[in-house]
Amino acid sequence: MFLSDIFVFQEISRHVRELLGFEEPVFSRSIALPYRDNMGLFLERKSRTGQKADALTFSQFVQEAGLEPYSTFPPVQQTQMGRN
């Protein structure tokens, strides 16, 4: 793998995080900041390979990690058709 390949992977990862609305994992993150997003934590766990990671579901992860179940996405606002 070349250095340019690593840069491309980093750029792809950054764009995916932006599209999904996840913050970049920072190891020096202050504990004073709000908790990280459940979905982001789940995807970090799923990024590993193996049967255990493949079999892990989001609800199972939330339960095993002792996290509060909540929606990671804001509710979709329904538009009223035909109204100005």
Q: Are 69 and 59 in contact (CB under 8 A)?
A: yes
Q: What share of the chain is helix, strand, coil (3-state, %, to 5)?
A: 50, 0, 50
Residue 10 — pLDDT band, cuts 50, 70, 90?
confident
> What is the pTM for the complete model shown?
0.53
Give the model confidence (pLDDT) of 49-79 as tens digits.
889 989 999 999 999 988 887 654 554 444 4
Token couple for 62: 């939330």
Name the burial class of residue 42, with classes exposed (0-12), middle (13-18) and buried (19+) by CB atoms within 10 angstroms of its CB. buried
Closest by CA to 24, choosing from 64, 33, 4, is 33
